[in-house]
Structure 1
Amino acid sequence: MGKLIAAERQKEILKLLHDNGSVKIGQLAEQFQVSRETIRRDLSYLTEIGAAQRSHGGATSIYEFGTVPIETRINKDADIKTKLCEKALEFIPQTGVIYLDAGSTIVHMAKLLSQRSGCTIVTCSLSAANVLIGSDNTTIITGGQLNPGNMSAEGFQATNFINNLKVAVSFLGTNGFEQHKGPAVSDFSDAQTKQAIIPNSKLNVVIADSSKACASALIQYASWRDIDYFITDSNLPKPLYDSIREMTKVILVDL
């Protein structure tokens, strides 16, 4: 690996922390072809901004690492996710393309859309595409590198495809938004895919249950101001509701 500037190197270190949970100074110095002192400064900086925690000989992630299999996440709180997605159906246009993001909640949106006909749906989610098989809709998959944790297509091919799209509405998920001023995810490639669709969609809708308010995620992929609607349940804490609704429209669904 060629030498990187400090910001690029620190971003790569964060990726390693997310994927592995911890890093060692010696290994990083060898990998990035810099001195141990340079790596110590990188880790000190990441610790100062709250992105890492120093440990003996290296650093550990402050976030949970690894991804719970999407099959498990789809079944968790399935009734709540379905109710939120039923509300989101109000934003389905009579004409125009629908984009479905990767994520367990969005798979429930795909299940509801599979009962409709005549829709054109673009998705990076293999799980959503699988649900739509056999429906009377046109389903287009973005292509890209498989992310087994999300069962989604990501990377350059996916973002390049999305950059050439214009859709009427996009439905987006989030792993959590504690300590963030917008929806966040735990994977850089997932964040890049989401960031690609937002400017190419007339309407951006985030769907997430209120438990995500207390969940940490690695990287914020958008500000709430970039989102047109946030659909969640009525258990969202009021101070957080008041804060978010200053930046976007919040729709609370009674459970």
Structure 2
Amino acid sequence: MGRSARNKVARQKRILEALQANAAVRVGALAEALGVSGETIRRDLAELGSEGAVSRTYGGAVAKPILQEPNWRIRHGEFREERRKIAQLASDLIAPGDILILEMGSTVMHLAELLSAGGRDLTVITSSLEVALTLGRNDSIAVHLCPGVLDTREGSVIGAETEAFLQQYNATIALVGSTGVTREGLQESHTGIAAVKRVMLSRAKKRVALLDHSKFDQTSLVTACPLGAIDLLVSDRRPEGELAAALEQAGVEVRV
């Protein structure tokens, strides 16, 4: 990612943080706070609006609905160091000859980047176009891309065709992300993604969730699956309180 793109990701993250803190913010106030022109802010808001991250208003914007998430490209720029470490730890679980199922999501993309650079003799089944393209740069990784209905915000496919395609595979490890994790289970803001996640986890011998600490105790639209549907949680911090107790009761190993 070039410097200009990194600056834009950081700026848009700060815009989202300002909206979460103040609900509604004017273009002029954002421009002054971030040290850029009003036109730059308007372009950022237009892009965030097209991705469902904010709602535009006359002269400004308001915070996104609570159950929605920003486009995966914006999320990919958040908690980068933590997510890289999670991806590195997850990569230690993978050996040549493994058959992987990889979901979409920002932390899974960090893992895909690592595997593209150093993975050998792997077979990967994925619903994510970006994961498939990233892994496709490595000639020793065979990539099977799921068919289905394209979700442009997430860069992945969903639907009955996706689920049926996944049912034919037997994987060594499934690695998934999630909108959040609570004592009820893995959370999702999209019912179609939740359905694909359930099938992915059901087709693997080892089931792994890759979640940074910002996802702890975050509830969303639907509980995709109970905690018992995963074997291992890889994170940058150890969960505490009710979540820690629920993970232990469900027999989920936690690696930090």
Question: Secondary structure at 2:249's aligned position in 1?
Answer: coil
1:224: Cα distance to partner? 1.0
The amino acid of 2:243's aligned partner reads L
Match of 1:218 in 2: 221
Structure 2 SS opposite 1:161: helix
Partner SS state of residue 120, structure 1: strand
CA contact (8 A) 2:227 2:252 kept: no
C-alpha deviations, 1:98-139, integer Å up to 9, x for none? 110111111111011102222111100112112223112111
- The answer as to whether partners of 1:241 and 1:250 remain within 8 angstroms in 2 is no
> What corresponds to 1:102 in structure 2?
104
Distance 1:184 1:119 in 2: 29
Q: Closer, same or farther in 2 for the Cα pair 1:65/1:225, shift >3 Å? A: closer
Structure-2 residue corresponding to 1:66: 68
Alignment of 1:206 with 2:220, yes or no, is: no
| 2:185 and 2:223 in contact (8 A); partners too | yes
Is 1:131 the counterpart of 2:134? The answer is yes
Deviations 1:158-205 (A, max 9, x none): 101001111110001110124x52111110000110111222111110
What code does the residue aligned with 2:97 have?
Answer: T
Report the AA paired with residue 218 of structure 2. Answer: A
Which of these residues, 148, 153, 157, is aligned with residue 153 of structure 1? 157
Report the aligned-residue RMSD: 1.6
Give the Cα separation in 2 of the matches to 1:83 and 1:65.
27
Q: CA deviation at 1:143?
A: 1.2
Q: 1:90 to 1:238 in 2, by over 3 A?
A: farther
Q: Which secondary structure state, in structure 2, belongs to the residue aligned with residue 149 of structure 1?
A: coil
Do the aligned residues in 2 keep the contact of 1:125 with 1:153 (CA within 8 Å)? Answer: yes
- Does the CA contact (< 8 Å) of 1:228 and 1:248 recur in 2? yes
Distance in 2 separating the partners of 1:73 and 1:145: 22
Comparing 149-158 with 88-97, greater Cα deviation is found at 88-97
- Matching of residue 88 in structure 1 with residue 82 in structure 2: no
**CA–CA separation in structure 2 for the residues paired with 1:227 and 1:235:** 16
TM-score, with structure 1 as normaliser: 0.70
Counterpart of 1:78, as a letter, is R
User: Any runs of at least 4 consecutive aligned residues in structure 1 with deviations exceeding 6 A, and if so which?
Assistant: none
d(CA) in 2 for partners of 1:164, 1:133: 21
Answer whether contact 2:127 2:145 (CA < 8 A) is retained.
yes
- Which residue of the partner structure matches residue 169 of structure 2? 165
Which of residues 162, 176, 182 is equivalent to 2:180? Answer: 176
Structure 2 runs not aligned, ≥5 long: 1-64
> Structure 1: 5+ residue runs without aligned partners?
1-62
Seen in structure 2, the aligned counterparts of structure 1 residues 193 and 68 have a Cα distance that, compared at 3 Å, is same
Whether contact under 8 Å (2:171, 2:204) holds in the other structure is yes
Residue 148 of structure 2 is matched in structure 1 by 144
Opposite residue 81 of structure 1, the aligned amino acid is: R
Instruction: Give the Cα separation in 1 of the matches to 2:231 and 2:181.
Output: 16
SS in 2 for 1:114: helix
Q: Aligned-pair distance for 1:235?
A: 5.1
Contact 2:208 2:231 in 1 (8 A): yes
Q: Which residue of 2 aligns with 1:194?
A: 197
User: Within 2, Cα distance between the matches of 1:113 and 1:120?
Assistant: 11
| Corresponding residue number in structure 2 for 1:250 | 253
What is the identity, as a one-letter code, of the residue corresponding to 2:160? F
Q: How many residues align?
A: 190
What is the deviation of 1:238? 4.4
Quick one: structure 1 residues 238 and 67, their matched pair in 2 at CA, closer, same or farther if it must change by over 3 Å? closer
